[in-house]
Amino acid sequence: MKKPRYSEKEQIAKALDRFLPENCSEQIADYILKFNVKFRISKPRQTKLGDYKKNPNENFHRISVNGDLNPYSFLVTTLHEFAHLTSFEAYGPRIKPHGKEWKAEFRKFLLTFINQDVFPKDLEIALMNYTMNPKATSCSDPTLLKELRKFSKKDEDPLLEDLEIGELFQFQNRIFEKIQKRRTRVKCRDIEKNRMYLINAVAEVKRITDG
């Protein structure tokens, strides 16, 4: 029996199925083809969840998204990067990366999927609040981040705010000690440099344990 032939859209959607929530892969495949995107599933990166690039010498766009994200985080991050693409196309390269133009584009992408009842109710509410003024990253919104983390694997890294004062942790390949909680950030000491830094309280970190 001959194997069925799949269209380019079907091939892309099939490859994305395991990364996205149910009934989302075909629409993302549409975006990839419509905007001529080279879409890459990236290895985990601690410094970013996704990335958008447009080389002026290329006639296509590049988007990468970390492959270890849970399906809802993967979708939100993907839409975040597509919003960079469409705001870049509509307004040019001189706009602020996460300025009003990007916020308007990201809001439109998110509302498209919210209106399709893609998200669980609590996450949908958090996203609706988030769309009022989207931040540069979903990690900057504590409520949204915590809702998204409910769908991640149970053994994921803790948030900085979950650590005790005095605990050591790794963040961006450096070792810190948690010193003092501020309103949205935490005062931390870089062990090697013996310097103080403020780190987002909802940053994901690696706890350092004895042994």
| DSSP count for the chain of H helices, then E strands | 6, 8
Does 90 reside within a domain?
yes
Pairing mode of beta strands 37-42, 61-66: parallel
pLDDT given for residue 172 in this prediction: 85
d(CA 180, CA 182): 6
Name the token pair of 43.
């290895």
d(CA 46, CA 89): 28
Which of 149, 175, 192 is the C-terminal boundary of a domain? Answer: 149
Element spanning 68, H or E = none
pLDDT given for residue 177 in this prediction: 96
Does 96 reside within a domain?
yes
Residues 87 and 25 in one domain: yes
Residues 77 and 27 in one domain: yes
Does 187 reside within a domain?
yes
Residues 54 and 134 in one domain: yes
Does 3 reside within a domain?
no
Residues 88-110: tens digit of each pLDDT:
999 988 889 889 999 999 999 99
Question: Which of 111, 88, 113 is CA-nearest to residue 101?
Answer: 88
Does 2 reside within a domain?
no
Low-confidence ranges of the chain (pLDDT < 70): 1-5, 136, 138-140, 154-155, 210-211
Residues 74 and 142 in one domain: yes
Residues 65 and 43 in one domain: yes
Which of 149, 172, 196 is the C-terminal boundary of a domain? Answer: 149
Residues 190 and 96 in one domain: no
Name the token pair of 152.
């991640």
Residues 81 and 178 in one domain: no
Which of 120, 149, 178 is the C-terminal boundary of a domain? Answer: 149
Alpha-carbon dihedral sign for residues 166, 194, 196, 141: negative
Does 154 reside within a domain?
no
Residues 27 and 96 in one domain: yes
Element spanning 198, H or E = strand 195-200
Residues 134 and 197 in one domain: no
Residues 164 and 100 in one domain: no
Residues 131 and 90 in one domain: yes
Residues 139 and 97 in one domain: yes
Does 137 reside within a domain?
yes
pLDDT given for residue 167 in this prediction: 95
Number of domains making up the chain: 2
Crossing angle between the packed helical segments 71-91 and 100-114, to the nearest 10 degrees: 140
What residue numbers bound the domain in which 97 lies?
8-149
Does 1 reside within a domain?
no
